Structure 1
Amino acid sequence: MALSSSMAVSTSTNVFENGKYKTEMIKIDQGTSCCSSTKANSSQCLPPPKPLLIGTPSEAGEFPVLLFLHGFLLSNSFYSQLHQHIASHGFIVIAPQLYSVAGPDSTEEIKSTAAITNWFSEGLQTYLPSHVRPNLSKLALSGHSRGGKVAFAVALGKAITSLKFSALIGVDPVDGMDKGKQTSPPILTYIPHSFDIDMAVLVLGSGLGDVKRNPLFPPCAPKGVNHEDFYNECRKPAYHFVAKDYGHVDMLNDDTTGIRGKATYCLCKNGKSREPMRRFVGGVVVAFLKAYLEDNSMDLESIKDGHLAAPVVLQKVDFLV
């Protein structure tokens, strides 16, 4: 039930490199009370609905917030290097552990995501360093794989939140095993531009996500339910970037421990190294958040136009603006 943290230092301002802020990773186990730890004098300490891993700038300031949902049967800690990358550019990244074991139905994950979002207003500040303030008027929602599907579900109103999201990001989102084999609740309708989402959308895809690693296992991001299908149903403004030679889990940490961590190297088709894909995902996410939460589209436009070189070969760049 401990609340713990770790530190990282960075100075670069290139979105594909770590940013100028020192970062802190804060782990909050479910049931941990800030009153009994670092916030003993707090008058109100409301524990989060789920365990959280928070990546935040450790320096004083008010920062936009990104809620990031993990992929199917993965740990939120597997994304800590990606979260630190994003946080180092001046964002607070909230990564819940939505479950440890789950079946095909993601309804409870959708409800949990809404509950966590609703908790932000009353509970988030008490678990952050006192000099770090979350700007909940600048709030973005994101998720990887099945977490991407859940993020789209919340954005589409399948759960009600008290706070309004201003940007949506799907990192190689997946809606089941195949077209016609969507998991409940199905998100894709296969009607172009049918998503009624009142915010900007970024969809990131992996070029190897729809490729089988071996004949025994299906691809991790099958055609018919992957990033291409999600993007096809988006309305303006929407952006689509696909990394050519990288796989569905190549944005995870280099070292993912335990049986589930080792499985990420065995079940999906992978690229040669995770580091370039992780920097690519982190950089495009930062550029997108700067554009739609901070009204600074310079980096996003530079990536879109090819003036800012990505650390991966891009298989596809498309946008609706």
Structure 2
Amino acid sequence: MSTSSSVCVDVFAIGEHETKLVEPEESVTPKPLLIFTPLEAGEYPVLILLHGHLLNNSFYSQLSHQIASHGFVLVVPQLYSVAGCDATKELENVTDITNWLPEGLQKLLPSQVNANLTKLGLAGHSRGGKVAFALALNKVKTDLKLKFSLLIGIDPVDGLVKGIQTTPKVLTYIPHSFNIGMPVMVIGSGLGEVQKNPLFPACAPKGVNHEEFYNECCKPACYFVAKDYGHLDMLDDETKGIKGKATHCLCKNGKSREPMRRFVGGVVVAFLKAYFGEDFSYLIDIKDNEGKPVELQKVDFLV
């Protein structure tokens, strides 16, 4: 296991790889999706990133380009446009997308780029985080043919939609009860559990948010909470349309999105480098050193 990187790399900045957005025709993919890929010749691990409740996958473009620029291929599907309380169909959709990767992904990448599906990660934001955990925990029986190597929850919420519990329920409220069998990282927002105004509930309420997800994780796991940033602050600076405008109105936000987005991108890159590249120096640096784009409210490691 390497604990010191040979090259000084700022994981919070754009990496050394030029990136490209590939938008395949919907007829050739199980669900509409965006692919963010390096352009330099090489073999790269793959990360599936699931969007949050009622959000567009395009809202994660700046975050995805940042991660891809450090040497990763990102697959970012659009799982639905409108969704109710039952997320079961989303688990089935993610399974279909994952099973499609061996046959379909390589055909859409630049000819000099190879996807390494033996290093496959799953990440999700908000409701997408819940779906990612539910799939990893086999909450719904699916015909998943590939094995994920790691799991990332970006401000995950096993929450309530207008007071009704969403299904399948993920949290057990039993410490270290998640028998996932792979490394896990949970990223939280300090303002996610704060109401923006009395008319709207908090976007990541206490009791169903990142804190409880991490409490139920087993080793190895790590946990970062950004103090003064909100549930949607990792999205693009500009999010268009009615949904895009709503992202600025419904949740308590920080002063700007850029610091939180750079932080989320950076810790994701550090985690991927640790468990795909066996270089833990980046995670250790984030834990121990200054220079982070946000102030951390909480840091913890289960090793």
Q: TM-score per shorter chain, which class?
A: over 0.9
Write the letter of the residue equivalent to 2:101. F
1:310 and 2:296 matched: no
TM-score, normalised via structure 2 length: 0.95
Letter in 1 for 2:12: F
Name the structure 1 match of 2:248.
265
Cross-structure match for 1:122: 103
Structure 1 length-normalised TM: 0.89
Task: List alignment gaps of at least 5 residues for structure 1.
Answer: 1-11, 32-46
1:69 to 2:50 alignment: yes
- Give the match for residue 55 of structure 1: 36
Task: Render the CA deviation track for 1:186-206: whole Å, top value 9, x for unaligned.
Answer: 000101100010100000000
Q: Is the 8 A contact 2:178 2:216 kept in 1?
A: yes
The answer as to 2:178 corresponding to 1:182 is no
1:144 alignment partner, one of 102, 112, 125: 125
1:23 paired residue number: 19
Q: Could you tell me which residue of structure 1 aligns to residue 3 of structure 2?
A: none
1:171 aligns to what? 154
Residue 86, structure 1, aligned to residue 89, structure 2: no
Match of 1:97 in 2: 78
State the 1:160 CA deviation. Answer: 3.6
* CA distance in structure 2 between the aligned counterparts of 1:295 and 1:161, rounded to whole angstroms: 26
For 2:260, the aligned partner's letter is M
Q: Which runs of 5+ in 2 are unaligned?
A: 1-7
State the 1:176 CA deviation: 1.5
Find the aligned partners of 2:183 and 2:113 in 1 and give their Cα distance.
26
CA-CA distance at 1:19 after TM superposition: 0.3
Matches of 1:70 and 1:24, distance apart in 2: 20
In the alignment, does 2:293 pair up with 1:297? no
The 1-side partners of 2:302 and 2:66 are apart by 27
Q: How many residues align?
A: 293
Match of 2:220 in 1: 237
The amino acid across from 1:319 in the alignment is: F
Aligned residue in 2 for 1:37: none
* Post-superposition CA distance 1:14-64 (Å, at most 9, x none): 101010000001112411xxxxxxxxxxxxxxx210011111101111100
Deviation of the 1:181 alpha carbon = 4.8
Report percent identity of matched pairs. Answer: 66
Residue of structure 1 in register with 2:302 after alignment: 320
What CA distance in whole angstroms lies between the structure 1 residues aligned with 2:9 and 2:61?
19
Aligned residue for 2:5? none
Q: Is this contact kept in 2: 1:299–1:308, CA < 8 A?
A: no
